Amino acid sequence: QIEVGLASLLGALLGLTVLLYGVAILLSGAGIWLGVFGVVAGAATLASSIVQAHAGFSDIAMATSMPSTLLVLLWSLCIGVFLLRRAGPVENAA
């Protein structure tokens, strides 16, 4: 029970963090699609952690957590590409 509780708490905190980052990106106007994607990925992760808290390590919990984890992974990759493109070329310091 402790493992299930800690796993669901970790998932809830991750989902809430990604959700809040998505809202912050939306409010900043930096990338609307990136903000919406963050909100969706965060909400999905938060929902899957609630399912895991109620059902434990069951088939339905795994069926909800796998797609939501994939969304968070894709969102993280999109954030990285967006920030690299926004930074511009790196100058040689030497």
CA distances from 28 to 15, 25, 36, 80 (A): 20, 5, 12, 17
As a whole-number percent, the residues of the chain with pLDDT over 70 amount to: 97
The pLDDT of residue 89? 75
Q: Phi-psi region for residue 8, left (φ > 0), alpha (ψ -120 to 50) or beta?
A: alpha
Whether the per-residue pLDDT at 4 is higher than 70: the answer is: yes
User: What are phi and psi for residue 24, nearest 5 degrees?
Assistant: -65, -40
The pLDDT of residue 94? 61
HSE on the CB side for 53, CA within 13 Å? 14
